Structure 1
């Protein structure tokens, strides 16, 4: 437990929810046919790219004054189409979005992010509103999502494509 989460009511449930979100991102991103012997960027470079994409998207879609609270990254093993590990990893990065005006505007934030994605080469994959406040979009193997939890708190995440930890296959 970090100082940022210590003492928050419902933290274990929240972390479970975020882990489930990371697993969902990983499952929908897939690594199956990613030519596993090709060179890739490193996991650290992929994490930086995913984080920068979130920062760019939120700066373009949300009003001034918000902050992003980073949660621990979630590395996951990639598998091929038969479910066997490839040796590659993908990483889910997630942030709480803090400081936005009232939760009653959440739908407007979802609309703004959807519009930003459309203007920046992202392809909307899922829009589960109004039943579930969840959207996601893909670009270049990355999968970005925005979700409101049961308390209407927003979390934005991005999963990387499958990469070799150091950019090259292990021997």
Structure 2
């Protein structure tokens, strides 16, 4: 017997989204001393970055924590978790400002995610970090640059 199912995307939370030109986010990252790749503005991945409020992010982030059992040394490790979470965020929620970054954390070099929130007046607000690997102590929570020893150095944007 074939059962008709609802499209799973209709079951996901619908969050408000806004777009901002890439260079505004890059400028905000540079103010924080965080580099970007690529640096050449003629070679960009996305010109328009879609983002939401912290309330919107709160409806999304819990779905971006990935099972730590996916880990395979040098095959599927930290940057792969971050890239997968980035892709899921863009695919499911249309929020492509949730990006993979590489930087430092207490255990050494690490890949994790970075995103920014929309302010009440419509601008780019605080920049936040996110650990997508469910096996890490602070996975699933948004935290500030430098908190828990996480310091991004470069963002794939």
TM-score by length of 2: 0.30
Of structures 1 and 2, the one with the larger relative CO (CA 8 A, separation 6+) is: 1
TM-score by length of 1: 0.28
